[in-house]
Amino acid sequence: MAFNTTATIASFGGKLLKLTHKSSSTNTSMGLNLYLPPQSSSSKVPVLFYLSGLTCTGDNCSEKGFFQHGASKHGIAVVYPDTSPRGLNIQGEDDAYDFGSGAGFYVDATKDPWSKGYNMYTYITEELPKALFESFKELDESRVGITGHSMGGHGALTLFLKNPGKYKSCSAFAPISNPINAPWGQKAFKGYFGEDQQEKWKEHDATELVKKWSGPLELLIDVGTGDNFYKQKQLLPENFVAAAKEAGNDRGINLRFQSDYDHSYYFMASFADEHVEWHAKRLNA
């Protein structure tokens, strides 16, 4: 077994496993949570990857996100990975909430010293699913969806758009939708890729990626109108939809502005059921 199970917690009729494993992508031990719904004891179940936002680990959403409620109903496993390597001892890695620890941005860093472990793109798209499908035979690797919040919404959109066919469903909560034009994204890409690597930046920008998408595109995206980061133009979901429209790919995008909701887990919990149902329709089809 590639994973150590440090706790098994009953939740909504299923169980939440607290796991750790050695990652060759990040060169660290990585923690994550895996929710196995009750249906997984008798049959293979689809898997929804939930990518967290800045500062979070896989714990926050498993406690406050309410995804287990819908996942139990629809028979879907949920994977809650961490948001970066931890403890690489890179100078300054813990100095800011929006860069380094807790802020891996789901990219493979190319710039020293971050390239020695900040490889969350490879970790999430390759290493972690491979390890999970080897260790947990109840997970159906042919039915995988992806979602996420804020930085994790950026992760969900970009990983989905960069890997046609890998994910059968995608949704996002308050995603950073055009990071190359937003302060958070610019800081991260400058640090992980370098200031002069504009082509590399675009490879991890959902708004750039959607321009090149071919084929049908179905996405559910929720953004709260009371979200201060939306107001500060960190998220820019309109840019994403405009780019999709220009490319003729916007018809299946359901961008919903939810009145008064903020950027917190209160927002996500309120719409978690609807997102899980969105994925269930596609993963259980």
Among positions 51-90, residues that touch a second copy (CB under 8 A) are: 63-64, 66, 68-69
> Does 173 contact a second copy by CB under 8 A?
no
Query: Would residue 112 show up in a list of annotated catalytic residues for this protein?
Result: no
DSSP state for residue 215 in the 8-state scheme: S
Beta strands 219-224 and 28-36, pairing class: unpaired
259 binds a second copy (CB under 8 A): yes
Listing DSSP states for 96-136 in one string gives BTTBBTTB-TT-B--STTGGGT-BHHHIIIIIHHHHHHHH-
CB atoms under 10 Å from CB of 167, counted, come to: 23
Structure tokens at 223: 């953004």
- Of 62, 227, 275, 279, catalytic: 227
Omega within 30 of 0 (cis) for the link into 113: yes
Cβ nearer to a second copy, comparing 36 with 146: 36
Closest to a second copy by CB, 69 vs 187, is: 69
**For the chain, how far is it from start to end, CA to CA, in angstroms?**
31
- Catalytic residue (choose from 150, 169, 171, 177): 150
Closest distance to a second copy from the beta carbon of 224 (Å): 7
Q: How far is the CB of 255 from a second copy (least distance, A)?
A: 18
- Binding region for a second copy (CB under 8 A) out of 36-44, 142-150, 229-237, 266-274: 266-274
Q: Is 263 marked active-site?
A: yes
84 vs 120: CA distance, rounded Å: 6
**Would you name the residues annotated as active-site residues?**
150, 227, 263
Interaction site with a second copy (CB under 8 A)? 9-13, 15-16, 63-64, 66, 68-69, 224, 226, 258-262, 264-267, 269-270
